[in-house]
A = this chain, B = another copy of it.
Amino acid sequence: MAAPEHPRMSDVAERAGVSLSTVSRALRGASGVAPKVRAEIENAAAELGYVVSRGASSLVTGRTGRVAVLVPFLQPWFFGVALAGMNTTLRDAGRDMLVYQVGDVGELDDYIHSLPLRRNVDAVIALALDLDEREIARLDEIGLPVVFCSQRVKGRRSIFIDNTAAAAEATRHLLNLGHTRIAYIQSKDQTGFSWDSRDRLKGYQQAMADAGAEPLVLTERSGREGGARAMGKLMSVERPPTAVFAESDDVASGVLQVVRRSRLAVPGAVSVIGFDDNDLAALFDLTTVSQPVQEMGEHAARLAVDLVDGGAAQSDHHVRLETAFVVRHSTGPPRENMGLHG
């Protein structure tokens, strides 16, 4: 095959019978081009199948038209949904989306240090990266505007939900149903607790304290497996809880797995609550806290775009999105005098 010779702007200019500058102005939508001329140029461009070389234009404008998204994982539900939201918004804004998976913090460090982003994107979105102060400072070295999605960072543009309030609400739901022995399952990664995790725990603890109930917190690995292990432990304590609040739907699915294997009824013997409202939640008929993940992605992308376009002054640096408590059938009043031993 011959080299795929792309038409250049000068080709369009020649075909339209105008100068290069005029074509540039017309195609960019800049003002100061006679309507008729503009139409002719657009025709010529379309006929030639001309597309501007972003490399060349970014060379002079300093803008690349690209936004990088840094994610710790790609597979889990949360990330797919958030990326989908970002992708929509970015596409509408005429931006391309670059995705970089930075598994652990070390990898992130390497990444930032080698700075391949610098100069090659206009902005960076950190998606659920759960960085601490030091790491955030490191991100700044990149010299680009950064938007945090699903992490609240003081003084930085960020999109987040009120994990504490949402977790408290979920806990109160159980309390109101009459539960008093409510366990909370917290997740811990190799790297430690995420901010989401800490905040949710706080909400649970507050609600329990307000109701004068004794908190019971287990810590396990994240994911389904962690949920299963935690539930296993809970079933062998002296007075098992009548309700379990899992930090995420994934964890809750592990809890449910164990509960079912033990032929215990939900919510008869145990009530279960999750967090996320992911695709498993509906399947398991799980009461949970729904967070607007796609919207979070959209907002983050919009913020990133505005940041690049608008220069400095932006009003809404922080966006707190609403969660919704979704009651399904995994929660109900505790059966009178029993626990798990129904």
| A interface residues (Cβ-Cβ under 8 A, vs B) | 1, 4, 6, 49, 51-56, 58-59, 64, 66, 73-77, 79-81, 83-84, 87-88, 91, 96-101, 115-116, 118-120, 141, 143-144, 224, 253, 257, 279-280, 283, 312
* Docked pose: A98 CA to B67 CA in angstroms: 10
* Docked pose: A56 CA to B312 CA in angstroms: 26
Copies in the complex: 2
Question: SS class of chain A's interface: helix, strand, loop or mixed?
Answer: mixed
Residues in chain B near residue A53, CB distance under 8 A: 59, 119-120
Q: Are B115 and A49 in contact (CB under 8 A)?
A: yes
* Docked pose: A4 CA to B118 CA in angstroms: 10
Residues in chain B near residue A1, CB distance under 8 A: 312
Q: Are A115 and B283 in contact (CB under 8 A)?
A: no
Residues in chain B near residue A279, CB distance under 8 A: 224
Q: Are A118 and B73 in contact (CB under 8 A)?
A: no
Residues in chain B near residue A283, CB distance under 8 A: 224, 253, 257
Q: Are A51 and B81 in contact (CB under 8 A)?
A: no
* Closest beta carbon of chain B to A297's beta carbon, Å: 10
What are 7 pairs between A and B in contact, CB < 8 Å? A6-B119, A49-B141, A51-B115, A51-B119, A53-B59, A73-B80, A76-B80
Checking B87, B88, B120, B143 against A96 with a beta-carbon cut-off of 8 angstroms, the contacting residue is: B120
Q: A56-B55, A118-B51 are in contact. Are A6 and B143 (CB under 8 A)?
A: yes
* Docked pose: A309 CA to B334 CA in angstroms: 65
* Docked pose: A64 CA to B59 CA in angstroms: 13
Q: A97-B98, A312-B1 are in contact. Are A120 and B54 (CB under 8 A)?
A: yes
Q: Are B74 and A75 in contact (CB under 8 A)?
A: no
